[in-house]
């Protein structure tokens, strides 16, 4: 009895965590996911991209994924598991897999690795990420136009450069519309806790914010904004289902084209270690349809999107003034360079808050 | 004033799942069984509760689904620890892991669906009283039930003979057995009660708090409930205080951030746990008054037949 119970439990766990297709002689491509594929956010979008990959190249490749893989040293075993299963190209889809991926990559030089949002590379390990701050800039424009109270609510996950640059891009854009715009920032100190994200959204709305933006992964904030009759932006994926009259737009992670391109290179034998940081122009992400806003705001958003895509508008165009009132050094000519954005650890002027750890 | 009311409402909502789950665990532990699987039972309750409500359109039936699911999970635990005398700590941890996997499986088909959350009470006149109207007369049924539940448990534990026997099993199972009480049967019921409460607490999340299901949505609340039982030193009265205190810290730290109070948010996120540690230290130092753990907590009992 005990044995059969254990076997049942083991079977259920396996069924829940490993999905595999089978065929011989095909290129095996593996994926490591942070959350469950049903998270409707970060991992969900990676899996959509994997499905797009299978649809495009399904006759030549075979994909495997491991979901719910915790970040940190434990990830190493999961990545090695994929290597031993014969995967020749492995995508590790979260920042925290950086060191484990590098470690496994050094151990298996004949296997190619692709790590999302990190900065460490190896001859057999590429990195890829998206310039989400471009999308945040467009959201900032919309938010400033749509806010009646002049107070935006921002739910952050952790005060890391990616999130900080998003807040700055939002505010720089919003200030071009309303120089006195305010932002209230709440750090949830988690990427995913629907209850806490909902509580944060409630707190922001109760304190006067009427447009909610989030850099956490669940649709809870959207749903609260919808309940309270406010406006909000989605995150990672389409969240309009949770706020049909609430969602203004959402930054959609669209990894599909990149995955297809990299797998094609692998198949052709031309894969090499690269660092890809793509924006709207290279379709690393997309904007969900602009909804719940007047036509002039929609047009403004579309124009901004077109200008950013064409390279005519840079969200971090100089001069940029920090909270201390001093201009930030402009290393990229007329805008901040990639290094400054990737390592951003300051707030721009007009953010009435203190960056944690500063 | 409106802000104060909004904050109190948010605190009550945040505290309710903690209170319900911790009440169940309190009874379980008072009978001498340590079930660390609260998180697992909660998340399965959340998945089944949402499934029930989505399929039938009824929040009440959803809550029942959650209760039944939590109870079934706890029966697995009871079978292992009471029937087969397996180590309780290991089984509880395994139950959590099983629950997280199982809930993903059950909930997979419901991800992305949404339901109408549990209705809030409205009594014309009373609900509109400023400040206290919505707090007292405008909550959802779960909030009222959680209060009734803990009062009922207090009454049961301290004012009934059955409660006394249950506590006796938790303090000294050998004596209770010698007196002729069916220790294992009593403990099984206590474990089932804990499971039912955890299931209901889990179901509260998708039925009233954030009306959708996402795998992992309990996000550690089961562990906070476990900490709460220790925090309360196994007493229902202190449990109520603890639950609302934990809820208050969670909500107030978010508001403090919005106001730009210069305390690091990471520190404030850690406050409930810090409070638990401090209470534990204080309890161990205070020789009188502070009730300590049930003496037989976590120990295996095999009756000699």
pLDDT digits (tens, 9 = 90+) for A62-93: 999 998 898 888 899 999 999 999 999 999 99
pLDDT for B274 equals 83
Cα–Cα distance between A227 and A123 in angstroms, integer?
A: 50
Q: Which is more confident, A169 or B293?
A: A169
Mean pLDDT across A124-143 = 96
Which of A268-272, B83-87, B151-155, B292-296 has the weakest average pLDDT? B292-296
pLDDT for B46 equals 97
* Confidence bin at A22 (pLDDT 50/70/90): very low
**B168, B162 contact by CB (below 8 A):** no
Fold (topology level) of A14-130: Rossmann fold (3.40.50)
- Please report, for residues A11, A39, B120, B210, B211, the alpha-carbon distance to residue B8 in angstroms, rounded to integers and kept in the order given: 45, 30, 15, 18, 20
Residue-wise pLDDT tens digits, A226-262:
999 999 999 988 999 999 999 999 999 999 999 999 9
Tell me the shortest Cα–Cα distance from A38 to chain B, in angstroms.
6
For A12, the closest of B94, B105, B212 (CB atoms) is B105
pLDDT for A7 equals 47
**In the predicted structure, residue A14 carries a pLDDT above the cut 50:** no
Residue-wise pLDDT tens digits, A330-352:
998 899 999 999 889 999 999 98
Q: What is the set of domains in chain B, with CATH numbers?
A: 2-285 (1.10.3470)
Residue-wise pLDDT tens digits, B110-123:
887 888 888 888 88
Q: Do A186 and B254 touch (CB under 8 A)?
A: yes
Average pLDDT over chain B, rounded to whole?
A: 90
| CATH code of the region A133-252+287-342 | 3.40.50.2300
**In the predicted structure, residue A18 carries a pLDDT above the cut 50:** no
Q: Does A345 touch chain B (CB under 8 A)?
A: no
Q: Does A38 touch chain B (CB under 8 A)?
A: yes
What ipTM is given for this predicted complex?
A: 0.85
A156 forms bridges with which residues in the sheet?
A: A187
**In the predicted structure, residue A151 carries a pLDDT above the cut 70:** yes
Tell me the shortest Cα–Cα distance from B286 to chain A, in angstroms.
35
Residue-wise pLDDT tens digits, B252-264:
888 988 888 777 8
**In the predicted structure, residue B109 carries a pLDDT above the cut 90:** no
Touching B: A residues 136-155, CB under 8 Å = 153
pLDDT for B134 equals 83
Q: Which is more confident, A288 or A2?
A: A288
Mean pLDDT across A3-28 = 52
Residue-wise pLDDT tens digits, B244-299:
988 998 898 889 888 887 778 778 778 777 877 887 788 777 765 555 788 889 88
Instruction: Give residue limits of the domains in chain A.
Output: 14-130, 133-252+287-342
A78 token code pair: 């999961």
B32 token code pair: 């001498």
**In the predicted structure, residue B154 carries a pLDDT above the cut 90:** yes
pLDDT for A3 equals 45
**A304, A138 contact by CB (below 8 A):** yes
User: What percent of chain B clears pLDDT 90, i.e. is strictly above it?
Assistant: 62
Cα–Cα distance between A128 and A122 in angstroms, integer?
A: 13
Residue with tokens 């424009």: A141
B272 CB-near residues (< 8 Å, 6+ apart): B224, B227, B245, B246, B249, B250
**In the predicted structure, residue B223 carries a pLDDT above the cut 50:** yes
pLDDT for A24 equals 52
Touching B: A residues 192-221, CB under 8 Å = 192-196, 198-200, 202-204, 206-207, 218-220
pLDDT for B244 equals 94
A58 CB-near residues (< 8 Å, 6+ apart): none
Which of A190-194, B223-227, B282-286 has the weakest average pLDDT? B282-286
Q: Does A42 touch chain B (CB under 8 A)?
A: no
Buried b (16+ CB within 10 A) or exposed e, A342-352: bebebbbbbbe
Alpha helices in A129-271 (DSSP H): 132-146, 161-177, 194-206, 220-227, 256-268
Peptide bond into B185 cis (omega under 30): no
HSE (side-chain half, CA atoms, 13 Å) at A332:
16
B196 forms bridges with which residues in the sheet?
A: none
* Confidence bin at A15 (pLDDT 50/70/90): very low
pTM for this entry? 0.85
* Confidence bin at B216 (pLDDT 50/70/90): confident
* Topology agreement, domain A14-130 and domain A133-252+287-342: yes
* Confidence bin at B19 (pLDDT 50/70/90): very high
Residue with tokens 């920090």: A322
User: What percent of chain B clears pLDDT 70, i.e. is strictly above it?
Assistant: 97
User: What percent of chain A clears pLDDT 90, i.e. is strictly above it?
Assistant: 75
Mean pLDDT across A145-149 = 96
pLDDT for A199 equals 94
Q: Do B258 and A204 touch (CB under 8 A)?
A: yes
pLDDT for A1 equals 40
């Amino acid at each position: 009895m005990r044995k059969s119970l254990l076997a049942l439990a083991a079977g259920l766990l396996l069924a829940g965590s490993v999905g595999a297709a089978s065929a011989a002689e095909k290129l095996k491509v593996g994926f490591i996911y942070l959350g469950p594929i049903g998270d409707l956010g970060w991992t969900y979008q990676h899996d959509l991209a994997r499905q797009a990959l299978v649809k495009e190249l399904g006759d030549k490749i075979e994909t495997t994924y491991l979901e719910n893989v915790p970040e940190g040293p434990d990830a190493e075993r999961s990545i090695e598991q994929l290597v031993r299963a014969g995967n020749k190209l492995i995508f590790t889809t979260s920042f925290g897999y950086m060191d484990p991926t590098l470690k496994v990559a050094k151990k298996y030089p004949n296997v190619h690795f692709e790590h999302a949002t990190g900065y460490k590379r190896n001859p057999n390990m590429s990195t890829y990420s998206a310039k989400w701050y471009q999308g945040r800039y467009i959201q900032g424009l919309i938010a400033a136009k749509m806010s009646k109270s002049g107070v935006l609510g921002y739910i952050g996950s952790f005060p890391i450069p990616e999130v900080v640059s998003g807040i700055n891009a939002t505010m720089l854009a919003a200030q071009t519309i309303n120089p006195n715009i305010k932002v209230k920032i709440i750090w949830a100190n988690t990427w995913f806790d629907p209850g806490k994200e909902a509580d944060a959204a409630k707190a922001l709305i109760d304190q006067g914010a009427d447009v909610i933006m989030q850099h956490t992964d669940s649709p809870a904030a959207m749903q609260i904004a919808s309940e309270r009759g406010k406006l909000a932006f989605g995150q990672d994926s389409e969240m309009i289902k949770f706020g049909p009259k609430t969602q203004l737009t959402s930054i959609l992670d669209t990894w599909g084209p990149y995955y297809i391109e990299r797998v094609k290179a692998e198949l052709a034998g031309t894969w090499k270690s690269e660092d890809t940081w793509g924006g709207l122009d290279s379709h690393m992400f997309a904007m969900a349809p602009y909804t719940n806003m007047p036509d002039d705001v929609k047009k403004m958003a579309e124009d901004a999107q077109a200008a950013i895509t064409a390279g005519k508008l840079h969200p971090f165009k100089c001069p940029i003034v920090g909270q201390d009132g001093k201009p930030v050094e402009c290393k990229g000519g007329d805008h901040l360079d990639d290094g400054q954005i990737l390592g951003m650890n300051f707030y721009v002027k007009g953010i009435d808050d203190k960056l944690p750890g500063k | 004033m409106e802000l104060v009311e909004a904050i109190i409402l948010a605190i009550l909502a945040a505290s309710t799942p903690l209170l319900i789950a911790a009440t169940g665990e309190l009874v379980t532990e008072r009978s001498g069984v340590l079930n660390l699987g609260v998180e697992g039972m909660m998340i399965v309750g959340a998945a089944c509760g949402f499934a029930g409500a989505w399929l039938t359109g009824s929040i009440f039936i959803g809550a029942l689904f959650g209760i039944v699911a939590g109870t079934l999970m706890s029966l697995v635990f009871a079978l292992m620890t009471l029937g087969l005398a397996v180590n309780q700590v290991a089984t509880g941890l395994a139950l959590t892991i099983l629950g997280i996997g199982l809930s993903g499986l059950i909930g997979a088909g419901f991800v992305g669906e949404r339901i109408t959350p549990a209705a809030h009470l409205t009594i014309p006149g009373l609900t509109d009283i400023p400040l206290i109207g919505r707090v007292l007369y405008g909550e959802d049924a779960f909030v009222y039930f959680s209060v009734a539940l803990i009062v009922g448990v207090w009454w049961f534990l301290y004012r009934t003979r059955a409660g006394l026997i249950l506590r006796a099993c938790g303090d000294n199972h050998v004596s209770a057995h010698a007196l002729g009480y069916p220790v294992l049967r009593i403990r099984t019921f206590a474990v089932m009660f804990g499971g039912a409460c955890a299931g209901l607490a889990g179901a509260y999340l998708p039925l009233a708090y954030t009306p959708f299901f996402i795998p992992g949505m309990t996000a550690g609340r089961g562990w906070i409930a476990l900490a709460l039982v220790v925090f309360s030193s196994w007493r229902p009265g202190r449990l109520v205080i603890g639950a609302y205190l934990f809820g208050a810290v969670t909500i107030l730290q978010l508001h403090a951030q919005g106001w730009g109070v210069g305390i690091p948010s990471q520190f404030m996120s850690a406050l409930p746990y810090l409070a638990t540690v401090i209470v534990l230290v204080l309890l161990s130092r205070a020789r009188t008054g502070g009730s300590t753990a049930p003496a037989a907590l976590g120990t295996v009992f095999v009756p000699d037949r």
